[in-house]
């Protein structure tokens, strides 16, 4: 499952993992949301409803370019810098060829669609 994220005149694609949370996210597409900075390592976008948490649980190998869902807040987390797993964080997939557009600070309209 591949998805396209478009904001600020940039486009990113991500490949979703085969897990219940990622499939639930994919079934919601297309989406028009708002993406904004959070902390110094991610952009976030709030989903219109919560995703299943069946794929939750600790994972390793956290790295920039991960696409996650943060269940306690109901938002996507698009990581562009290092982070550590925390309770409620579900990894949905990874950006395919870089994540440089995520480095642009600011709030933008975000369109997400299936590829």
- The separation between CA 8 and the C-alpha centre of its own chain, rounded to angstroms, equals 16
Q: Can you give the pLDDT at residue 71?
A: 95
Query: Could you give the CA distance from residue 53 to residue 34 in angstroms, rounded to a whole number?
Result: 22
**CA pair distance 6, 63, nearest whole angstrom:** 21
Q: What is the pLDDT of residues 43-65, one digit of tens each?
A: 999 999 999 988 778 888 999 99
Say what the pLDDT of residue 78 is. Answer: 97
- Give the chain's mean pLDDT: 94
What is the arithmetic mean of pLDDT over 13-42? 96
pLDDT of residue 29: 98
For the residues 64-72, what does the mean pLDDT come to? 96
Domain that holds residue 98: 2-114
- Judge contact between 4 and 88, C-beta under 8 A: no
pLDDT for residue 40:
92
The count of other CB atoms within 10 Å of the CB of residue 108 is 17
Q: How many domains does the chain have?
A: 1
CATH number, domain of 68, equals 2.40.100.20
Please report which confidence band the pLDDT of residue 97 belongs to, taking 50, 70 and 90 as the band edges: confident
Q: What is the pLDDT of residue 56?
A: 77
């Amino acid at each position: 499952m591949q998805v396209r994220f478009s904001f600020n005149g940039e486009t990113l694609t991500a490949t979703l993992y085969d897990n219940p949370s990622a499939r639930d996210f994919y079934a919601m597409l297309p989406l028009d949301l708002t993406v904004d900075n959070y902390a110094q390592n991610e952009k976030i976008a709030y989903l219109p409803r919560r995703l299943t948490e069946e794929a939750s649980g600790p994972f390793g190998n956290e790295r920039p370019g991960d696409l996650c869902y943060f269940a306690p807040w109901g938002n996507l987390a698009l990581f562009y810098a290092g982070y550590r797993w925390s309770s409620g964080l579900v990894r949905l997939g990874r950006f395919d060829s870089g994540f440089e557009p995520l480095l642009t600070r600011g709030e933008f309209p975000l369109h997400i669609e299936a590829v």
